[in-house]
């Protein structure tokens, strides 16, 4: 496996991605399995003469917090999270789950209730324009679940995280310039024929850095690995069918997802495997959970193969993803407890009839 200088990665996140300023308070949350990296982030924050709050989780704690409280309690936002949301200046949240399979026995009703409790917290953070970085973290358990070796999973992830951010911006700008002047987007594969409108919607480049330009446009967050161009389609505009080969949820594989959209909303779903699970997630989510929320186009050259880990899969060059649900943070109108990215391989994408991707190849 490649050797990763986590202290250097933490320094980059704090000084370049988040651009932490003296006196700020940064909320860092993540799984106990990556606590040493959380320590690196805390030290990097302190080197900027800023302050930190650390919130570690374990899989055991996350599972018990879902199973043991009354379900009515789960629906209410934690007072501690509400108070933190009112005064922190930034968030860095790492993947808190070491093995997603631990959640397979938990009723979706309970997961949906806890997800609902986050809406008021997210509303405060959104209203205050609190910037954030969300980052995955590879583990042997995830690699086993996705059916890849830990070495290839680990190496691809960290190469993608440490890729050239300026290169991502350059790649992204060419695509974004077409989208931001576009009106109608058509997406096609052998089993997909989808059309929607993006007229007047801002278009963002996730290049790993939250710049002043990003902030002025309302883009307050980024993912690591970075590498996509994204926007919020007009919510009522999606018409047609979209087919996604696979998605993972709670460590379970959902195959052959066929979504039919009418006036922006998913009106029917058929899956080749685990259809009930897909529908269960939607039925126990809240708000505009089944309305188109995002178009994203992958741009990271270091993500070379799909694994099932969405935060990397959606960055593969030659893919797009369509999200359902929440999208207010990047110019949309959906308020929802759900934001579910569904990745599509090898599509052809047209903007006002001009091909920008053909069978998964970006047109330069």
CB proximity list for 311: less than 8 A, separation 6 or greater: 95, 134, 135, 136, 223, 225
DSSP states along 55-72: EEE-HHHHHHHHHSS-HH
Q: Which domains occur in the chain, in start order? A: 6-137 (3.40.1830.10), 175-362 (no CATH)
Paired tokens of 58: 């374990």
The 10s digit of each residue's pLDDT in 223-249 is: 999 999 999 999 999 999 999 999 999
pTM: 0.93
Residue in 3, 1, 68, 19 with CA at minimum distance from that of residue 222: 19
Residue 169 DSSP label: H
| pLDDT (0 to 100) of residue 247 | 92
Paired tokens of 101: 């399979």
| pLDDT (0 to 100) of residue 216 | 87
Paired tokens of 355: 């091909």
Q: Which residues of the chain have pLDDT under 50?
A: none
| pLDDT (0 to 100) of residue 251 | 84
Max CA-CA distance within the chain? 55
| pLDDT (0 to 100) of residue 62 | 97
* Alpha helix positions (H), 181-244: 212-217
The 10s digit of each residue's pLDDT in 8-21 is: 999 999 999 999 99
Residue with tokens 């969405």: 310
Check if the beta carbon of residue 31 is closer than 8 Å to that of residue 97. Answer: yes
Paired tokens of 102: 């631990």
> Positive or negative, the Cα torsion across 70, 72, 73, 75?
positive
Catalogue the E-assigned strands of 151-309: 184-189, 192-197, 203-206, 221-224, 228-231, 239-249, 252-262, 265-270, 292-298
* End-to-end alpha carbon distance in the chain: 33
HSE of 7, CA atoms in CB hemisphere, 13 A? 3
- CA separation for the pair 3, 154 (Å, rounded): 10
């Amino acid at each position: 496996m490649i050797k990763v200088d986590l202290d250097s990665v933490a320094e980059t996140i704090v000084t370049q991605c988040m651009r932490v300023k003296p006196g700020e308070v940064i909320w860092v949350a993540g799984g106990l399995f990556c606590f040493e990296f959380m320590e690196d982030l805390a030290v990097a924050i302190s080197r900027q003469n800023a302050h930190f709050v650390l919130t570690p989780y374990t899989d055991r704690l996350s599972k018990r917090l879902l199973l043991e409280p009354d379900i009515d309690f789960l629906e209410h936002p934690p007072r501690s999270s509400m108070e933190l949301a009112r005064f922190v200046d930034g968030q860095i949240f790492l993947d808190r789950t070491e093995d997603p399979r631990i959640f397979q026995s938990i009723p979706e009703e309970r997961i949906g209730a806890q997800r609902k409790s986050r809406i008021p917290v997210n509303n405060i953070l959104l209203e205050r324009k609190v910037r954030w970085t969300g980052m995955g973290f590879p583990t042997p358990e995830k690699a086993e679940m996705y059916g890849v070796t830990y070495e290839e999973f680990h190496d691809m992830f960290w190469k993608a995280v440490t890729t050239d951010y300026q290169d991502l911006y350059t790649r992204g700008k060419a695509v974004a310039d077409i989208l931001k002047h576009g009106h109608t987007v058509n997406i096609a594969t052998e089993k997909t024929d989808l059309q929607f409108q993006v007229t007047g919607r801002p278009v963002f480049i996730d290049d790993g850095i939250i710049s002043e330009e990003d902030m002025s446009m309302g883009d307050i967050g980024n993912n690591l690995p970075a590498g996509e161009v994204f926007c919020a389609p007009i919510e009522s505009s999606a018409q047609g069918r979209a087919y996604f080969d696979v998605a993972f949820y709670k460590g379970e594989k959902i195959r052959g997802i066929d979504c039919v959209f009418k006036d922006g909303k998913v009106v029917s779903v058929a899956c080749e495997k685990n259809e009930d699970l897909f529908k269960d997630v939607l039925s126990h989510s809240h708000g505009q959970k089944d309305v188109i929320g995002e178009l994203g186009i992958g741009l990271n050259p270091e993500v070379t193969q799909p694994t099932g880990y969405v935060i990397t899969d959606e960055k593969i060059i030659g893919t797009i993803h369509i999200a359902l649900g929440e999208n207010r943070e990047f110019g949309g109108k959906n308020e929802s407890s759900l934001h579910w990215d569904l990745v599509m391989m090898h599509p052809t994408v047209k903007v006002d009839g001009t091909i920008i991707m053909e069978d998964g190849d970006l047109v330069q």
